[in-house]
Chains A and B, each alone.
Chain A
Amino acid sequence: MANPSSTLVAGLGRLKSKDTRPIWMEKPKPAIQVSKAIALVIICFLALYPLLAVLATSLSSQSEIANNNGLVLFPKEPTFAAYQTIFAGGVVTDALIRSLLITTVGTALSLVVTVAMAYGLTRRDLVGGRFFLMTALFTMLFSPGIIPSFLMVKELGLLDSYAALVLPTLMSAFNLVVVRSFFMNLPQELFEAAKIDGAGDFRILVQMVLPLSRGVLAVVGLFYAVGYWNAFFNAMLYLNDDKWPLSMILRQYVLLGQPMGDSAVAEIAVPSQAIQMAVVVISLIPIVIVFPFLQRYFTKGVLTGAIKG
């Protein structure tokens, strides 16, 4: 137990095999089993209820919300009116498209830069290798601060451009370490053999390393994508409202309750609670869709990659 990383690696191996109760373990008393089951149900309820409440409200009519004093558990007559209003075109639709584009382009760029640097750093006796690695790692220890970062973006002339949402957060040193560790744990003999056969470094990366790394790329890609999707502060700092992504729309119209621009919902100045919650649901959908799909990689990919160092 002296070393937490070996702890984690060894622990993960056992994660799968532990399925049945060991012989020596006595069957717990019914009272304990029941209280455990209740605890689990409560935990799942606490985790999921807020999301379900949002969904229920978004599917309710304005009159039903008003009749229930704002609280709807199960809409009696579910209606998609709020979603129809939103998707009729206007602010939210535009922001949704922008957010999807920013997330896609940003994630692709982040992955390319991260993979390239991580692969370059796998060569042990690389010229300046240690210097490059330390340059990246030290960024985990400090943050330059909000004001200097803001002035940097301003000096580069990136104010009010989409690049201001992507470039300042292009890469995280953590993800770099995860990918590099994964690459270094691949069987190096394969690549040495390919090198003897005359394959160049770049060809080995594209044709051999990347196909073997789908899991870790999926996880790191998810981290980047979630980061871009959820980010609002850079948009708040750098962009005018005609370029806002969905997260800023959410802040403006749901958290601050400001009226949506005339093109969005002409007849309602202040968006109704159902419409507000529908915007929340729309922001949640990509996360909820992608999450189960990638979940199997988490414990495997992230941890084993991150901790073997």
Chain B
Amino acid sequence: MSHLVTMDDALKTKLGILADAAKYDASCASSGAPKRRAAKDGLGSTTGAGICHAYTPDGRCVSLLKILLTNYCLFDCAYCVNRRSSNVRRAAFTVEEVVTLTVEFYKRNTIEGLFLSSGIIRSPDHTMERMIRVAKTLRQKHGFRGYIHLKTIPEASPWLIEQAGLFADRLSINLELPSEASLERLAPEKDGAAIETAMGQMRERIAEAKEERRRFSPAGQSTQVIVGADATTDEALIRKSAALYDRHDLKRVYYSAFSPIPDGTAILPLKAPPLQREHRLYQADWLLRYYAFTPDDVAQAAEGGMLALDIDPKLAFALKHRERFPVDVNTADRELLLRVPGLGVRAVDRIVAARRHARLRLDDVARLTSGLKRARPFLVAADYTPGGLGDRLDLRTRLAEPPQQLSLFG
């Protein structure tokens, strides 16, 4: 029973070890679940959009209690702090302990739910069964309707992967490394084909359940790729993501800049990639999903396969295709407006709605976007044309962001 009324020091120590071990996973989203409210004697709800209950000094959102069931692991993946040859402190939660922490933290309104992952102990199936038991206990014994994200173990038996979807809002399988060769070198127990097979299997089950109005991982599936642990280019990463969105209907691909970990290993690069690289990858990913960019468009925005760090990929694309600009905010198609640097989806939609009733001047556009400085050289308004601005050779320098301090030591 989880009638613990307080946390003892042993549990607190375990929490420290198993939260530290889980924090390299970038995903913390609590979005995408259907709206639910608690039954009269139950606990928890979901809002659809997700809530960040706190932010840590790395700027990341704390939405879910993100922990490992255990950091003992039989695998030996070089990028992972929990690989079996690492010298970190080890700990293991019981199922009840995870349930208690989730319920008690949730009652204090500090979290939206649980993000549970685990090192592989005994076997992938054994591990997966224990993770499922946590989710099942929360749902059935505590009437918990908050968010549950389970990190699926692709090496587990297919029926277990499918059972996880009965209790989870989101399932994810980490791709970790974008190429088979890198996986072989850095994660010898992992198998790229098995990962994609499991993703395909999950996609089928999710689609079937939706059609049959059954509950199965309603917030879909996501994955994570580590950036900078191998030589993969940005272009190759974006092409891989586009293929994953397309083939397996993923909700999100997370990019996690490889970060120095305690007790690192000699086969990893010593230096972390700039966090700005991760940021540019997210922007490019966004262009794929919301701005109708193709992977080829993103490739054109890159130089030698790598995205520029000082300007965003949309601006990089526009600078290479100046012949397409300027576009007139009062007449251009939505698709063309979406290509203007500095104009987001919301700004474009507001422009399209407003211009049905009024001719827009530059002042009007300024009220609809905060990115006017970047947009100006590329657009025409009722009282404005960029003149020669859009053709200036130093345009890139003028629009580049001052070297931003995204990391204190990056």
The judgment on whether A and B are partners is no
Q: Which residues of B contact A (CB under 8 A)?
A: none
Q: Which residues of A contact B (CB under 8 A)?
A: none
